[in-house]
Amino acid sequence: MAMTVGMVCYASVGGSGIVATELAKALAMRGHSVHVVSSEAPFRLGGYQAGLSFHRVHSPAYPLFREPQYLLSLATKIVQLAREHHLDIVHAHYAIPHATAAYLARQILADTCHDTVPRVITTLHGTDITIVGSDASYSETVAFSIEQSDGVTAVSQSLKEETYRALEIDSDIRVIPNFLDCDTHRRVEVPELRRRFLENGRFEKLVTHISNFRPVKRIERVVEIFRLIRERVPAKLLLIGEGPEVGGAARRVHEAGLGDAVEMLGEQDEVVALLSISDLFLLPSSQESFGLAALEAMASGVPVVASRVGGLPEVIDDGLTGFLHPPDALRAMADSGVRLLTDPELHQRVSRAARRVVERRFCADRIVPLYEAYYEEVRGRKDSRVTIRQ
């Protein structure tokens, strides 16, 4: 049965915004009406698509307030959409402020017109629990917002367990992993682009890292692992993304004398071509609740060397579809990288196995129906977290 869904997410580069946007697009293609709600258009939203619309949240600045009140503006926007479009589900990606705003909007709706009160589903993506949720300034609000949701999902079993440990909540959490459009995320032939980065044979291999350059991504460790690889393999590093650690990464590249072997490409809306020319993907994060960037690399047939943390072992089978090491085992990561870059048979075996795993477990046509079924389950429950005023 077709549903009307309000998809609330961050617009910035990052796993939660990407997955929310891809889910919205996939649901619209399957006949649902989806309203994406954010402060600006998510960077992968793309052009017009039937059944999909975007609603910008405006947060006016008033002298009385020291900063814009996004939470209040977002709650008001959800109320407006629920009344105008009769939302069945508000799907909040990230607990703060999205689930909190959804809770507030639902209370407003319940107090005014009960026939337009949608069910709220909150999807936990990671840092809303591991960083924000563990901060005493936010933890009680995070826990309350989750527990007041009609349904809760997490992108990995690891994150589900971490949520219970960090917040001591009793909500039932359903694990629904991240996914990709596997028709789009696949290796493509772009030989001219590869030659451009290899500079006519000056380099032999391309190593890539993609992230939002937050401290948890440990970009300086990426550079150090690459330095160790380059001692044995003529390789070039592509750093793709923007964020607070960009300056530190640039300094580390300069200090290591790698300026001629590293290109910082900034944010890129489309990464399929860049992954398709890559030979190795590095992800030495201190924490990853899922590892969407690793999944994108695997889908493009790029072997991944990463930290054995969080949800990454649920995505990468160590030794078969990639290599996992303790977060501080930089030399071991470099050794695995060198093996992959110098052993064509190993590289091909890992590359093909990685692609097969993505097709079998993480394509949209396998995961989106899980969300649809969960929407129907939550919508069909007699109980609700909201109290309707008679």
Sign of the CA dihedral with 355 first, then 360, 362, and 365 last: positive
In this structure, the answer to whether residues 209 and 68 fall within a common structural domain is: no
Angle between helix axes 139-147 and 100-110 (nearest 10 degrees) is: 50
Q: Does residue 387 form part of some domain?
A: no
Answer yes or no: do 86 and 234 share one domain. Answer: no
In a domain, 385, yes or no: no
- What confidence score (pLDDT) does residue 167 get? 86
Give pLDDT, residue 385: 58
Structural tokens at position 292? 């969407």
Give per-residue pLDDT as tens, 276-304.
999 999 999 999 999 999 999 999 999 99
Q: Are residues 213 and 291 in the same domain?
A: yes
In a domain, 54, yes or no: yes
**Residue 10 covered by a domain:** yes
Residue type, 97: P
Percent of the chain with pLDDT over 70: 92
User: Do residues 221 and 122 both lie within one domain?
Assistant: no
Highest average pLDDT, of 56-60, 136-140, 180-184, comes from 180-184
Same domain for 218 and 334: yes
Q: Please, which pLDDT band fits residue 140 given cuts at 50, 70 and 90?
A: confident
328 domain residue, yes or no = yes
- The answer to whether residues 145 and 277 belong to one domain is no
**Contacts with 206 (C-beta within 8 Å, 6 or more apart), sequence order:** 194, 197, 198, 235, 236, 237, 238, 277, 278, 279, 280
User: Does residue 320 share a domain with residue 197?
Assistant: yes
284 and 228 part of one domain = yes
Q: Looking at per-residue confidence, does 275 or 171 come out higher? A: 275
Q: How many domains does the chain have?
A: 2
Residues 310-332 pLDDT 10s: 999 999 999 999 999 999 999 99
User: The domain containing residue 250 runs over which residues?
Assistant: 191-361
Q: What is the CATH number of the domain that holds 153?
A: 3.40.50.2000
5 or 381: which leads in pLDDT: 5
pLDDT at 93: 94
Are 369 and 357 found together in one domain? no
- What are the backbone angles phi and psi of residue 351, rounded to the nearest 5°? -60, -50
Query: Would you say residue 185 lies in a domain?
Result: no
Domain assignment present for residue 49? The answer is yes
Q: What percent of the chain has pLDDT over 90?
A: 76
Pair (135, 265) in one structural domain: no
Residue 294 is assigned to a structural domain of this protein: yes
- ω into 177 cis (within 30 of 0): no
What pLDDT score was predicted for residue 63? 63
Q: Mean pLDDT over all residues of the chain?
A: 91
* Contact status, residue 207 vs residue 274, Cβ threshold 8 Å: no
pLDDT at 128: 62
Q: Specify whether 89 is located in the same domain as 201.
A: no
**DSSP collapsed to 3 states, 36-85:** EEECCCCCCCCCCECCEEEEECCCCCCCCCCCCCHHHHHHHHHHHHHHHH
Q: What SS3 class is residue 348?
A: helix
CA torsion 39→43→49→52, rounded to 10°? -30
If one compares 44 and 193, the residue with the highest pLDDT of the two is 193
Same domain, 168 and 219: no
